[in-house]
């Protein structure tokens, strides 16, 4: 019975301590009974190979133990698509441009060897992505355990009218719930990041370089914070009143307007940051400043194009939606 004891011990490892003895005693008795019955049928004692066949039929110890455990998931099927969407936006559409256009040029231009700088940038991007992944997962795990009241106390009379839904193709569709939840969570995360960024307005270190942000950043900071905070009511409106398309469009237009003001002020300012370092030559610092400024301006240009496109879509939506 040594094989059986080893199997039971392996199953025990995966069980909650409070239930281990009880489950193992019952499972052990069940398998022993099966072994005895098999021995009676064959008319001989089972050897290790025979017992191994029986245990293999029972399944891997971990799988056997998980059948006794309650089904658990960190993020359930309702929030999972939104979770993936937020991850894609943050990791792919925020982190990559920031590192490629802003952080990368600084690190590469100030590194002794550009290849080492590039590797360091990729490594920093990977670390930032891992950190973001952890924070986003934590936020969603908390949300998963605190279901929204609206989902429990919903009112059928507040659902979008059929005539509205049928009559509205394309841009006039009610806001998908996943989009609304993504905007809400994205707004919360951006607000948190923006509040934390206030500590770095005076300047911060990146490797051997000290980066001093131009005074214009202090000027636009309240607007950037407002831009982030506004994402929360935007998501909330989409979630609670998915058919109020025009209200949502007006909020989005307001947010985009704030974004354009920020982009315009920053673009006008010229020098957005200065780099200092006691370890680098003036030429290296000038190079780094040049590439970083270029990266920031490309980033601002791309952001402006995206904002204009979004504004055009929202204006079209406002004009075509029926009251």
Partner 1 sequence: MAQLRVERYGYTLRKSLADAGLEVDEGTLYPLLRRLENQGLLVSEWREENKRNKRFYRLSPDGEAILGQLLDEWQGINSSISKIVQGE
Q: What is the largest CA-CA distance in the chain?
A: 93
- Helices (DSSP H) in 146-176: which residue ranges? 149-152, 162-167
Q: Which one, 69 or 167, has the nearer CB to partner 1?
A: 69
User: In angstroms, what is the minimal distance from the CB of 259 to partner 1?
Assistant: 53
Q: Kindly list the residues in this chain that would bind partner 1 in the complex (CB under 8 A).
A: 23, 25-27, 29-30, 32-34, 58-59, 63-64, 67-68
Q: Which one, 68 or 221, has the nearer CB to partner 1?
A: 68
* Ordered strands of the 273-276 beta sheet: 204-206, 209-213, 273-276
Sign of CA dihedral 262, 253, 176, 153: positive
Q: Which one, 27 or 230, has the nearer CB to partner 1?
A: 27
CA dihedral 21, 25, 27, 30 (to 10 degrees): -170
User: In angstroms, what is the minimal distance from the CB of 77 to partner 1?
Assistant: 21
User: In angstroms, what is the minimal distance from the CB of 51 to partner 1?
Assistant: 16
User: In angstroms, what is the minimal distance from the CB of 146 to partner 1?
Assistant: 25
Q: What distance in Å separates the CA atoms of residue 288 and residue 266, rounded to the nearest whole number? A: 19
- Helices (DSSP H) in the chain: which residue ranges? 2-13, 17-42, 48-58, 61-66, 80-87, 96-98, 104-110, 114-145, 149-152, 162-167, 177-197, 216-229, 231-240, 245-269, 282-320
User: In angstroms, what is the minimal distance from the CB of 13 to partner 1?
Assistant: 17
Number of neighbours of residue 123 by Cβ within 10 angstroms: 11
Residue 90 per-residue DSSP state: I
Q: Which one, 68 or 299, has the nearer CB to partner 1?
A: 68
User: In angstroms, what is the minimal distance from the CB of 26 to partner 1?
Assistant: 5
User: In angstroms, what is the minimal distance from the CB of 117 to partner 1?
Assistant: 55
Strands 209-213 and 273-276: antiparallel
C-alpha atoms less than 13 angstroms from C-alpha of 232 in its C-beta half-sphere: 9
Q: What distance in Å separates the CA atoms of residue 34 and residue 30, rounded to the nearest whole number? A: 6
Of 240, 231, 221, nearest in space to 86 by CA: 231
Q: Which one, 54 or 94, has the nearer CB to partner 1?
A: 54
Q: Which one, 23 or 216, has the nearer CB to partner 1?
A: 23
Q: Which one, 19 or 113, has the nearer CB to partner 1?
A: 19
Q: Which one, 66 or 284, has the nearer CB to partner 1?
A: 66
User: In angstroms, what is the minimal distance from the CB of 17 to partner 1?
Assistant: 16
């Amino acid at each position: 019975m040594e094989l059986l004891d080893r199997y039971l011990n392996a199953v025990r490892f995966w069980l909650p301590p409070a239930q281990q003895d009880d489950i193992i005693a019952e499972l052990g008795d069940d398998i022993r009974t099966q072994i005895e019955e098999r021995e009676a049928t064959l008319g001989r004692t089972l050897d290790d190979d025979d017992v191994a066949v029986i245990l293999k039929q029972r399944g891997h110890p971990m799988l056997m133990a998980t059948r006794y455990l309650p089904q658990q998931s960190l993020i359930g099927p309702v929030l999972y698509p939104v979770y993936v969407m937020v991850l894609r936006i943050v990791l792919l559409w925020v982190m990559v441009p920031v590192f490629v256009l802003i952080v990368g040029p600084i690190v590469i231009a100030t590194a002794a060897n550009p290849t080492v700088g590039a590797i360091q940038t990729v490594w920093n991007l990977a670390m930032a992505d891992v950190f973001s992944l952890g924070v986003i997962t934590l936020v969603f795990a908390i949300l998963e355990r605190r279901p929204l009241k609206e989902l429990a106390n919903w009112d059928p009379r507040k659902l979008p009218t059929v005539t509205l839904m049928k009559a509205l193709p394309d841009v006039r569709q009610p806001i998908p719930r996943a989009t609304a939840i993504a905007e809400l969570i994205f707004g919360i995360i951006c607000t948190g990041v923006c509040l934390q960024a206030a500590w770095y307005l005076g300047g911060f270190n990146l490797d051997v370089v000290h980066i001093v942000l131009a005074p214009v950043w202090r000027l636009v900071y309240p607007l950037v914070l407002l831009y982030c905070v506004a994402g929360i009511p935007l998501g909330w409106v989409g979630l609670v009143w998915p058919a109020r398309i025009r209200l949502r469009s007006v909020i989005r237009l307001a947010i985009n307007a704030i974004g354009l003001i920020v982009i315009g002020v920053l673009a006008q300012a010229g020098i957005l940051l200065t780099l200092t370092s006691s370890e680098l030559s003036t030429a290296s610092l000038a190079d780094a400043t040049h590439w970083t400024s270029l990266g920031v301006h490309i980033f601002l240009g791309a952001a402006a194009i995206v904002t204009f496109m979004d504004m055009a879509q929202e204006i079209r939506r406002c004009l075509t939606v029926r009251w």
